Amino acid sequence: MNRFGDFPYGPFLNAFNTLIGRMFLVVLATLLGSMLGTMTALRAWQGLWEGLFQVGMLSVGSLFYGIGFFAFPAILLFALGFVLWEWRLLYVLIPTVLMWANIHRTVRWTEFDSPLAQKMKALQSEISKSVQDSEQPAASP
C-alpha cells in the first residue's frame, strides 16, 4: 500500500520489494560496484564504462588477483538473506562496497602494481625514449 508521502518513489519501492525486484537490485548493486571499482582504480571517468562492459572478465580475474574468492560468496549469502528475509533496501549498499573493493584491488594489481605491469611500463618508457632519440636530428659539426 502506498503512503501519500511516497508519491514519486512509491511505485518503485513497491517494485523493488518484490522477489524479482530484490534480485534485480542486488545485480544492479554489483554492477555499480564494478563500475566504481574500475573508475577509482584507473582514476578516470572512462573506468565506469570499462567496469560495466568488462564485469565478467574482471570478476573472473578477481578470483585470482583480488579478494573475489571471499567477496563473491559474501555477496551470494547477502543476496539470499536480502531476498528471503526482506532486509531493508538500503542494505543493498553492502554488495556495492564489496564489489568495489574487489574490482578496485583487481584492476590496481593487474594494471599498475604487478611485476608484469612494472616491466611493461619500463619497456614502454624505453621505447618512447628511443623513439624520441631517433626523432631528434643529429647535431652537425
**Over residues 101-125, mean pLDDT:** 93
C-alpha neighbours within 13 Å on the C-beta side of residue 135: 6
Distance of CA 15 to the CA centre of its chain: 26
Phi-psi category of 2—alpha, beta or left, where left has phi over 0 and alpha has psi -120 to 50? Answer: beta
Cα distances (Å, whole numbers) of residue 19 to 33, 83, 109, 121, 133: 21, 6, 37, 48, 64
How sure is the predictor about 1, in pLDDT bands with cuts at 50, 70 and 90? Answer: low
22 vs 65, more confident: 22
pLDDT digits (tens, 9 = 90+) for 38-56: 999 999 999 999 999 999 9
**Over residues 86-97, mean pLDDT:** 96
Residue 141 predicted with pLDDT over 80: no
Q: What is the mean pLDDT of the chain?
A: 91
Query: Can you tell me whether residue 45 is helix, strand or coil?
Result: coil
Instruction: Say what the pLDDT of residue 66 is.
Output: 83
**Over residues 14-36, mean pLDDT:** 95
Domain ranges of the chain: 9-130
Question: The pTM is what?
Answer: 0.83
